């Protein structure tokens, strides 16, 4: 069913009795051309673009829980393309362009809101670094504006500009950045993929790979054996566990990242703001709650919950930035598992196992990458060659020395 | 999380800095040193379950500790000085 105003009006007159489920909850068939493991945003987007852009429709998406139940449902919904390094910026800008046309593409309201992403700077050195990053963004077509303190004050008058330790000197603004509705992105891609013949199979956990020599030819799952010519892993957070089933060891640590939402208040923060002197980012949802987060907890974890020192640290960052939020109550906090790669950048590549392809290492930046990750992973799966904007996201780059380390932290995943 | 430091006793995890997988660094005299170093630096263990990791007690005795911990529950089974042999 295509959504439109006429359609909505007609259904309203009929008491909304005829709406159909947006996508099919399929049962597994014995064999597919391609299996995508992981029914989050990335996996579903991959299946969608495989069917739409490459005409490969005999595709299954396997999800161990329900679709969107992992990191797609646990992030802070920020979209942006404000990266510095050539290996990253072209990819994230391609993602931004896909976000801009996503709702028309999917005929689904993903609530993409380009309300601006503002990174604050607090010193001369940081302004120089941001000017450089802004120039890199402009060269890649992403657009950027370097604001002084007066311009920031016009947008966000409630910030603590004269903080004794970290005064706010200005910020780097990407007006095209903003937020999107995370669940709607999952459902929109699921609907688009399902309409084109993709089987979305839930409650189907992969427990092993079927091998023939050096090739994988299928998967063992909790719903039986399923064969396939190619398999794509899109299970960020658990990539090491699933890859280990194929005897692969990845340059990834799994960490827990916490996020928070406050009680709802009237419009207060117009866009997305990040604190440059700590790690704190915040935006306001359309319901009015402040959605924010900070650093990962910093130790290997599969627990999907974090510890209190990190909660305190994140809230201290918020208070240093905008003391006015101090009397708000936090409604909820939660944790998600993130693939922290060894240089802070993702991996979209073939693996040494024939027939097995990898999409992993998203650190805490996976949500904004969803459309381009799907687009480029589909390209790799369909054509056996990387999409030009992901050519640098190689699995072997750590061994060859071609790392993409935005922060220059070295091989220490909890610092990225 | 609370880590039982062998020198200081039980202390809050926020006193410690995390390094990661506690496997031994390779010998640097072998023929495939670069491969071994690559594996030691980049291909660290990342299991769901019991894991040995290195923590630095910067807020206390400044010892490097080898901590045995469950990555699914954050339960800590014990800590020893990292200078000793792996348990």
Distance, CA of A78 to CA of A185 (rounded, Å)? 12
A166 with A149: CB under 8 angstroms?
no
Distance, CA of A373 to CA of A137 (rounded, Å)? 19
For B23-71, the pLDDT digits (tens) are 877 877 878 888 888 999 999 999 999 999 999 999 999 999 999 999 9
Same domain, yes or no: A196 and A210: yes
Query: Domain count of chain A?
Result: 2
pLDDT at position B24? 76
Same domain, yes or no: A335 and A290: yes
**Residues of B contacting chain A (CB within 8 angstroms):** 1, 12-14, 18-21, 38, 41-44, 46-48, 51, 53, 69, 71-74
Same domain, yes or no: A274 and A332: yes
Same domain, yes or no: A282 and A186: no
* Partner B contacted by A413 (CB < 8 A): yes
Name the band, by pLDDT with cuts 50, 70 and 90, for residue B83: confident
Q: How do the pLDDT tens digits run along chain A, 416 residues long?
A: 789 999 999 999 999 998 999 999 999 999 999 999 999 999 999 999 999 999 999 999 999 999 999 999 999 999 999 999 999 999 999 999 999 999 999 999 999 999 999 999 999 999 999 999 999 999 999 999 999 999 999 999 999 999 999 999 999 999 999 999 999 999 999 999 999 999 999 999 999 999 999 999 999 999 999 999 999 999 999 999 999 999 999 999 999 999 999 999 999 999 999 999 999 999 999 999 999 999 999 999 999 999 999 999 999 999 999 999 999 999 999 999 999 999 999 999 999 999 999 999 999 999 999 999 999 999 999 999 999 999 999 999 999 999 999 999 999 999 98
* Burial class, A175, CB count within 10 angstroms (exposed 0-12 / middle 13-18 / buried 19+): middle
* Partner B contacted by A301 (CB < 8 A): yes
A283 with A272: CB under 8 angstroms?
yes
Contact residues, chain A, for B38 at CB < 8 Å: 398-399
Q: From the CA of B85, how many Å to the nearest CA of chain A?
A: 22
User: Which residue, chain included where needed, has tokens 């500009």?
Assistant: A161
A314 with A238: CB under 8 angstroms?
no
User: Which residue, chain included where needed, has tokens 């503002």?
Assistant: A118
| Contact (CB<8Å) A342/B38 | no
pLDDT at position A165? 93
Query: Domain range holding A118?
Result: 114-175+253-341
| Nearest Cα to Cα of residue A31 among A67, A50, A51, A59 | A59
Q: What is the DSSP string of chain B?
A: -EEEETTTEEEEGGGSEEEEE-PPPPPSSSTTHHHHHHHHHHS----SSEEEEEEE-TTTT--EEEEEEETTT--EEEEEETTS---
The average confidence (pLDDT) of chain A is 96
Contact residues, chain B, for A249 at CB < 8 Å: 43
Name the band, by pLDDT with cuts 50, 70 and 90, for residue B84: low
Same domain, yes or no: A237 and A306: no
Contact residues, chain B, for A300 at CB < 8 Å: 20-21, 46, 51, 53, 71
Q: Does the predicted model carry a pTM greater than 0.90?
A: yes
CATH number of the domain residue A223 falls in: 3.50.50.60
Contact residues, chain B, for A398 at CB < 8 Å: 38, 41-42
A33 with A228: CB under 8 angstroms?
yes
| Contact (CB<8Å) B72/A303 | yes
Distance, CA of A217 to CA of A71 (rounded, Å)? 28
Same domain, yes or no: A303 and A171: yes
Residue A105 lies in a domain: no
CATH number of the domain residue B13 falls in: 3.30.2270.10
User: Which residue, chain included where needed, has tokens 């992030």?
Assistant: A75
Q: Which two tokens stand for residue A97?
A: 């362009």
A229 with A372: CB under 8 angstroms?
no
Q: What is the ipTM of this complex?
A: 0.93
DSSP secondary structure code for residue A123 in this structure: S
Residue A90 lies in a domain: no
| Contact (CB<8Å) A300/B12 | no
B71 with B49: CB under 8 angstroms?
yes
Sign of CA dihedral A90, A96, A99, A105: negative
pLDDT at position B87? 45
Name the band, by pLDDT with cuts 50, 70 and 90, for residue B85: low
Instruction: Give the number of other CB atoms < 10 A from CB of residue A136.
Output: 18
Residue B57 lies in a domain: yes
Same domain, yes or no: A162 and A257: yes
* Burial class, B42, CB count within 10 angstroms (exposed 0-12 / middle 13-18 / buried 19+): buried
| Contact (CB<8Å) B42/A303 | no
| Contact (CB<8Å) A253/B20 | yes
Same domain, yes or no: A162 and A261: yes
A345 with A361: CB under 8 angstroms?
yes
Q: What is the DSSP string of A322-380?
A: -GGGGGPPEEEEEEEEEEEESSS--EEEE-SSBTEEEEE--TT-TTTTHHHHHHHHHHH
Q: Which two tokens stand for residue A153?
A: 């004050």
Contact residues, chain A, for B48 at CB < 8 Å: 238, 241, 254, 302
Contact residues, chain A, for B69 at CB < 8 Å: 299
Q: From the CA of B45, how many Å to the nearest CA of chain A?
A: 8
Same domain, yes or no: A119 and A213: no
In chain B, which residue's Cα lies nearest the Cα of A238? Answer: B48
Query: Domain count of chain B?
Result: 1
CATH number of the domain residue A167 falls in: 3.30.9.10
DSSP secondary structure code for residue A303 in this structure: S
Residue B14 lies in a domain: yes
pLDDT at position A24? 95
Q: How long, in residues, is chain A? A: 416
B51 closest CB neighbour out of A249, A298, A300: A300
| Nearest Cα to Cα of residue A48 among A170, A262, A155, A193 | A193
Boundary (domain end) residue, out of A341, A359, A378 = A341
pLDDT at position B23? 83
| Contact (CB<8Å) A303/B41 | no
Distance, CA of A142 to CA of A80 (rounded, Å)? 9
Residue A312 lies in a domain: yes
- Chain A (341-360) residues lying within 8 Å, Cβ to Cβ, of chain B: 342
Query: Domain range holding B62?
Result: 2-81
Residue B87 lies in a domain: no
């Amino acid at each position: 069913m295509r959504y439109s105003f006429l359609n909505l009006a007609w259904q309203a007159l009929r008491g909304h009795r005829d709406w159909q489920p947006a996508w099919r909850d399929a049962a597994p068939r014995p064999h597919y051309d391609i299996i995508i493991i992981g029914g989050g945003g990335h996996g579903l987007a991959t299946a969608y673009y495989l069917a739409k852009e490459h005409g490969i429709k005999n595709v299954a998406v396997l999800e161990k829980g329900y679709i969107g139940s992992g990191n797609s449902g646990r992030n802070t919904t920020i979209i942006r393309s404000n990266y510095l390094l050539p290996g990253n910026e072209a990819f994230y800008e391609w993602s931004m362009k896909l976000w801009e046309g996503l709702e028309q593409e999917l005929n689904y309201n993903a609530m993409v809101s380009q309300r601006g992403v503002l990174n604050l700077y607090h010193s001369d050195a940081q302004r120089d670094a941001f000017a450089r990053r802004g120039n890199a963004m402009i060269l890649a077509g992403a657009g950027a504006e370097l604001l002084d303190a007066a311009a920031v004050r016009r947008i966000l008058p409630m910030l603590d500009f004269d903080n004794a330790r970290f005064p706010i000197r200005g910020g780097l603004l990407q007006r095209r950045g903003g937020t999107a509705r995370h669940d709607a992105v999952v459902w929109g891609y699921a609907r688009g993929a399902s309409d084109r013949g993709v089987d979305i199979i839930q409650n189907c956990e992969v427990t092993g790979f079927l091998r023939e020599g050096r090739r994988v030819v299928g998967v063992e799952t909790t719903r039986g054996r399923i064969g396939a010519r190619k398999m794509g892993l899109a299970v960020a957070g658990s990539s090491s566990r699933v890859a280990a089933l194929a005897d692969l060891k990845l340059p990834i640590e799994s960490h827990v990242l916490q996020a928070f939402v406050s009680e709802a208040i009237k419009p207060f923060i117009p866009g997305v703001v990040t604190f440059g002197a700590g790690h704190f980012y915040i935006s306001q949802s359309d319901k009015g709650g402040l959605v924010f987060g900070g650093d990962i907890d910093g130790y290997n974890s599969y627990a999907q919950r974090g510890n209190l020192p990190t909660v305190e640290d994140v809230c201290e960052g918020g208070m240093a930035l905008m003391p006015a939020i101090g009397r708000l109550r936090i409604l909820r906090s939660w944790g998600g598992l993130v693939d922290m790669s060894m240089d802070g950048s993702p991996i979209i590549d073939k693996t040494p196992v024939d027939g097995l392809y990898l999409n992993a290492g998203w650190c805490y930046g996976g949500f904004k990458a969803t459309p381009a990750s799907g687009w480029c992973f589909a390209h790799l799966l369909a054509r056996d060659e990387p999409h030009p904007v992901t050519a640098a996201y190689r699995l072997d780059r750590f061994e060859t020395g071609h790392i993409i380390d935005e922060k220059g932290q070295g091989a220490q995943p909890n610092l990225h | 999380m609370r880590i039982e430091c062998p020198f200081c006793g039980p202390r809050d995890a926020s006193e410690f800095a995390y390094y990661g997988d506690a496997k031994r660094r390779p010998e640097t005299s072998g023929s495939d040193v670069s491969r071994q170093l690559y594996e030691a630096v980049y291909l660290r263990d990342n299991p769901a379950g019991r894991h040995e990791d290195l923590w630095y007690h910067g807020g206390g005795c400044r010892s490097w500790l080898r901590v045995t911990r469950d990555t699914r529950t954050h339960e800590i089974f014990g800590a020893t000085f990292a200078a000793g042999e792996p348990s």
